[in-house]
Structure formats: structure tokens, C-alpha cells
């Protein structure tokens, strides 16, 4: 047998193995592993990036803004990897607000998603058409959040006998966990230990300082009358009752930002 032929036959197994490895790499590159776990110092903390986006519609344009979200933006979000968790309006809405919560795998993904979305022809056309008779949006407030626990659409699922609230608190430096414990205890006192309520804590990134940090709590709970809202008010905060260590006799500043209801197009509806 010719020596070149023998060498070629000896190389065939190696060439086949190389081809298999190359194919496997192409598959991994095109289909990344879903829900890949990243090793962190705290494996129990949710590693996704959340964003609380509050839109303020122009005078008389709230319905137009709703239409743009319903017909275009939710689909564009999903197209570019922006997960829609909830779309709400305050039960009392003089500022014409639409409150949204979305999430991303990480900050780099967020930047990529919005850059690609802003160049999408559907978005460009939708914006032009919706603003044919004037602008429909006055401002957008963006807050990047990290979460203690994973939040999904079902976390905020709307029911007739339940309400969704966003509550903000200012915790002294190093006292965030104690504040969270107080909030949970107070919520149990409000709704009863046998009544199911859901609370998710978020922290705005970059807002902590040497003396305090902000906490944002999403609370899904049974509806109650205003007279029973002793948990927090716009002038005060959570009363510790004098039984929580360093917080004895103090009040933790905080307020109910707003009570929300789901829009007709919200995934949490």
C-alpha cells in the first residue's frame, strides 16, 4: 500500500474527533446553557439585574403610552432579552405614571439589549406613529436593583382580593438585615401569620453611603382598609416597639410610595 495512503488512513480517526469537537463548540456557542449558575460568595442571592422603570406620560397621553407598551414594547423587550415582570399603574394616578419591572442576566446584557432595541425598525416606526400628534412621554425614571430572592411574574400575580405595594425604607449603615426582619414581622402582624403574603426586597445599586442605604420592598398582600394601614405612613416609618436591639425606641424612616394595580397587558395580571 502506498505510504501516503497509509498515513491518510491513520489520520482519519483524529480528523473525525477534531470535527466532533468543533461541532460541539459551535452548538455550545449558539445555544448557551439556560439558567447557568455562576459561583458567587452568596449562592442564595439572586444574581439577575432588575430595573424599576417609571414612565410619566404627557398630559392627555396616558392611553397612547399604554397602547405603545401593549402593541410594541412588550414584544420588543422579549425579542432583545428584556424579561417583562410587571406593568402597573397607581390606584391614584395624578402624575400619569406607568410603573414597570424588568430584568436582565447582567448589566452587560442590559446595555446590549437597549442598544439593539433602539435601532430596531419596529421601534423607530412605533415611536414616530405614536408621536404624530405630539410627544406622549415627559420623563422616565430608571432604578437599577439587586434582589435578595429571585422574582418572576408569579411573584406579582394580581388577584381581586390582593394588592401590590412598593414600600421604601432608609436603613442605617450595616442595619439593612435588621430592617428587613422588622418589616417582615410588621407585615405578619398586619395580615396574620396564617395569611399568605409575598414580600421581595430590592436594593438600588450605587445608592448606599456611609450612613444609610435604601431598601425597596414589593409587597403582595390581602387588601385592607386605609384605617388599618398602621405599618408605615408618609410622616413616619416602621415602629420597632422597643424590642429590636440597636433600633430600640427609634422609628425607621419609610413610606408607602404607591399602591398599584396591574394593567390589562401586564404579564403579572
- pLDDT tens digit string along 120-131? 999 999 999 999
Q: Tens of pLDDT along 170-221?
A: 888 888 888 888 888 877 877 777 777 889 999 998 755 567 788 899 999 8
State which of 125, 147, 169 marks the end of a domain: 147
For the chain, percent of residues with pLDDT exceeding 90: 43
Q: Has residue 234 got a pLDDT over 50? A: no
Q: Tens of pLDDT along 41-52?
A: 344 457 899 999
Selected residue with higher pLDDT from 236 and 265: 265
- Residues 158 and 235 grouped into a single domain: yes
The sign of the dihedral angle between the CA atoms of 238, 240, 245, 246 is positive
State which of 147, 170, 202 marks the end of a domain: 147
Provide the CATH number for the domain around residue 179: 3.30.70.100
Phi then psi dihedrals of residue 132, to 5 deg: -60, -30
- Domain count within the chain: 2
Q: Is residue 6 part of a domain?
A: no
Mean pLDDT, residues 154-165? 84
Mean pLDDT, residues 103-107? 96
- Residues 130 and 163 grouped into a single domain: no
CB atoms within 10 A of CB 156: 23
Q: Is residue 8 part of a domain?
A: no
Q: In the 8-state DSSP scheme, what is residue 245?
A: G
Burial code (b: 16+ CB inside 10 Å, e: under 16) for 88-125 equals bbbeeeeebbbbbbbbbbeeebbeebeeebeeeeebee
- Residues 80 and 178 grouped into a single domain: no
State which of 130, 147, 164 marks the end of a domain: 147
- Residues 119 and 218 grouped into a single domain: no
- Give me the domain span that covers residue 139: 49-147
- Residues 162 and 102 grouped into a single domain: no
Amino acid at each position: 500500500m502506498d505510504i501516503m495512503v497509509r498515513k491518510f488512513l491513520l489520520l482519519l480517526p483524529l480528523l473525525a474527533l477534531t470535527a466532533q469537537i468543533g461541532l460541539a463548540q459551535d452548538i455550545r456557542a449558539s445555544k448557551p446553557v439556560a439558567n447557568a449558575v455562576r459561583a458567587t460568595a452568596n449562592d442564595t442571592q439572586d444574581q439577575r439585574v432588575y430595573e424599576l422603570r417609571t414612565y410619566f406620560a404627557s398630559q392627555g397621553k396616558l392611553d397612547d403610552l399604554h397602547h405603545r407598551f401593549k402593541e410594541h414594547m412588550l414584544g420588543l423587550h422579549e425579542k432583545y432579552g428584556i424579561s417583562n415582570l410587571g406593568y402597573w399603574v397607581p390606584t391614584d394616578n395624578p402624575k400619569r405614571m406607568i410603573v414597570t419591572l424588568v430584568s436582565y442576566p447582567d448589566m452587560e446584557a442590559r446595555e446590549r439589549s437597549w442598544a439593539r432595541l433602539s435601532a430596531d425598525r419596529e421601534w423607530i416606526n412605533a415611536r414616530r406613529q405614536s408621536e404624530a400628534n405630539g410627544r406622549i412621554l415627559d420623563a422616565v425614571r430608571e432604578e437599577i436593583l439587586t434582589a435578595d430572592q429571585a422574582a418572576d411574574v408569579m411573584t406579582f400575580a394580581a388577584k381581586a382580593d390582593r394588592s401590590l405595594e412598593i414600600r421604601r425604607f432608609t436603613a442605617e449603615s450595616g442595619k439593612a438585615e435588621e430592617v428587613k426582619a422588622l418589616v417582615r414581622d410588621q407585615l405578619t402582624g398586619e395580615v396574620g401569620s396564617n395569611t399568605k403574603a409575598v414580600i421581595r426586597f430590592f436594593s438600588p445599586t450605587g445608592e448606599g453611603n456611609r450612613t444609610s442605604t435604601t431598601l425597596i420592598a414589593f409587597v403582595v398582600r390581602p387588601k385592607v382598609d386605609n384605617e388599618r394601614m398602621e405599618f408605615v405612613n408618609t410622616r413616619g416609618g416602621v415602629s420597632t416597639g422597643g424590642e429590636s436591639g440597636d433600633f430600640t425606641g427609634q422609628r425607621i424612616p419609610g413610606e408607602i410610595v404607591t399602591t398599584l394595580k396591574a394593567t390589562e397587558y401586564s404579564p403579572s395580571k
